[in-house]
Amino acid sequence: MRTVHFDHRNHARDAAFPSPFHSRQAQHNRMKEWSRWSDYLSVPAYWCADMEYFAGRNACGVFDLTPMIKHRVSGPDALPYLNRLVTRDVAKIKPGRVGYSVWCNEQGRVLDDGTIFHFDEGDYRICSQERQIDWFLTSAQGFDVDVREETHDVAGLALQGPTSFAVLNALGLAGVETLTPFGLTTFDFAGASLTVSRTGFTGDLGYELWVDPDHAETLWDRLFEAGELHGIRAMGSQALDLLRIEAGFILAGIDFLPAWEAVRPSHTRSPFELGLGWLVNFDKGLFTGRRALLEEHERGSRYRLVKLDIAGNKPAKDAYVFGGDGKVIGTVTSAMWSPSAKASIALASVETPHGESGEELDVEIYYQRELKWHRVMARARVVDKAFWDPPRRRQTPPAKF
C-alpha cells in the first residue's frame, strides 16, 4: 500500500483537503457546495438531496467514504488486542468478514462505534467516525501489535442501492455475487488491488470499495461507466443521512456523545443505552469497560435509544419526548419524513423505564411554514423494527436489477 506524502498539504493553513475523488466530485457537484468532514472536503448534496436519496433506494448512489477515519491493527496480538478494546467477541469475525462494534472507556461509556474489517489472520482495519488513534495506542500497551492510522492511504467509495450489484457485475468483478452481507474480498483492478466489502450505512443492498488513492479517479470513472444504465448517481452526505436514519443506524456526535467529548458524565451513553447490548459479550474475557457494564447490566440502565413512528408528516427534528404524564423523558436525536416508510420517523433517547416496544409517547414538533413557526404535539409509538429493511439486503447472490 502506498503512503501518501503530505508535503503539499499545509495543515496550519487548511483544515480540510481535496479527497482523491475531488476532481470527479467537482464535475458532478452542480450546487458547488462543499462541507468539511474530518480532513477532507465533502459534498452535502451534488444537486438535490432527495434525488440522491431516491437513487440510493431505487437505483444506486456513490458516496465518497475517504474521510472516514481508518485504523490498521496488525501483528501477532491483533486479536487479543481487539478483544480487550471492543465490547464484542472479535474472534467471531473470521478472515474475510466485517463486524460492527463499539468500544468504551472504563466507565462503560461509548467512545465510538465502527466496523472491523478482518483481512487476514492478525490483520484488521477499524473504520470509525471519530479519530481514535490516541485511544487505540493507549490500549496497545502490553500487546505485540502495530496500530496506526491509515485514513489518507486508502480511498473509499460506498456504492449503495438495489442496482449496486449489477454495477459491480458490469465492472467485471467476477465472483462478487458470492459475497454475503459483511463479507470482504479483493480483486485485481486496473493494476491495483481493490477491496470490496458488502457493507454500508443505508440498510439496503450495497458495497464499499477501497483502493489506494492513486487509483481513486480510475475507480470512479469505471464505476460510472458501468453504472450508466443502472441509474448510478453521486450521492452527498445529506442523502446518506436520510438513508441511515431509515435503516436505524446511529451516528457518533448526533445520536450519542463520544465519551471523551463529554464534560458531564451523564451525557454519555453505554452500549445498552444505545440499543447495542447485543454487542456486549461478557463471556469473552476482559475488555475495557467490562466491570462497569456488568454492574449496569445487573443494576439496569438509565436511558434507552428508541425508534419512533410519529403521527403526521412533520419531521420531529430535535423534539422533546413526553411521557404519559406530560413530563419530558427524552429528546429526538435524528428525525425525518421517510419516503420509503411513508411515515415521520425518529431516533430518540429516552429515560428508562420508558421506551418499551409499543409504548405511546408524545413529541413536541416545531416547524416552519413560510418563515412562520408552528408547533404540534404528535403521538409517537415506540417500534422495534427498522423502518427500512428489505429482503434484498441479505439475498445472496443479489438480484441484478
Partner 1 sequence: MTNTGAVLIIGGGHNGLACAAYLARAGRPVTVIEAAERVGGMAATREFVTGYRASCAHLLYLLDESVAGDLSLASHGLRLAATELQTVALDPGGEHLLMAPDGLEGGGLGDRDRAAWPEYQRRMSKFAAYLGTLRSQAPPRITNRREDLLALGALAWRLRRMGRDDMREFLRIAGINIHDLLNEYFDSSLLKGALGFDAVLGAFAGPRSNNTVFTALHRRSGAGNGYSVVEGGMGAVTDALAAAATAAGATIRTGVRVQRIESDGLTVSGVELDDGERLAASTIVSNADPKTTMLKLLGARHLEAETARRFHRLRTSGCTAKLHLALDGLPEISGLAAEHLDQRLLIAPGPGYLDRAFNPCKYGEFSRQPAMEIILPSVVDPSLAPSGRHVLSAVVQYAPYRLEGGWEAGKPAFLEAILDTLEGYAPGIRPLIVGSELLTPPDIENLFGATGGHWHHAELSLDQFLMLRPAPRAAQYRMPVDGLYLCSAGCHPGGGVMGSAGRNAARAVLGGAKK
C-alpha cell at 202: 443505508
Question: Nearer Cβ to partner 1, position 144 or 389?
Answer: 144
Question: Nearer Cβ to partner 1, position 143 or 207?
Answer: 143
* Nearest of 300, 276, 270 to residue 107 by alpha carbon: 270
What phi, psi does 29 have (nearest 5°)?
-80, 85
Q: Interface residues with partner 1 (CB under 8 A)? A: 77, 80-81, 84-85, 105-106, 135, 138-139, 141-143, 285-291
Question: Nearer Cβ to partner 1, position 105 or 331?
Answer: 105
Instruction: Count how many Cα atoms sit within 13 Å of the Cα of residue 4 in the half-sphere of its side chain.
Output: 19
Question: Nearer Cβ to partner 1, position 126 or 361?
Answer: 126
The least CB distance from residue 148 to partner 1, in Å, is 17
Question: Nearer Cβ to partner 1, position 195 or 288?
Answer: 288
Distance CA 301, CA 351 (A): 9
The least CB distance from residue 198 to partner 1, in Å, is 31
Contact 106, 89 (CB under 8 A): no
Question: Nearer Cβ to partner 1, position 84 or 152?
Answer: 84
* Nearest of 340, 112, 130, 310 to residue 243 by alpha carbon: 340
DSSP letter at 230 equals G
Beta strand 206-211 pairing with 146-149: unpaired
Distance CA 98, CA 198 (A): 9
Contact 38, 32 (CB under 8 A): no
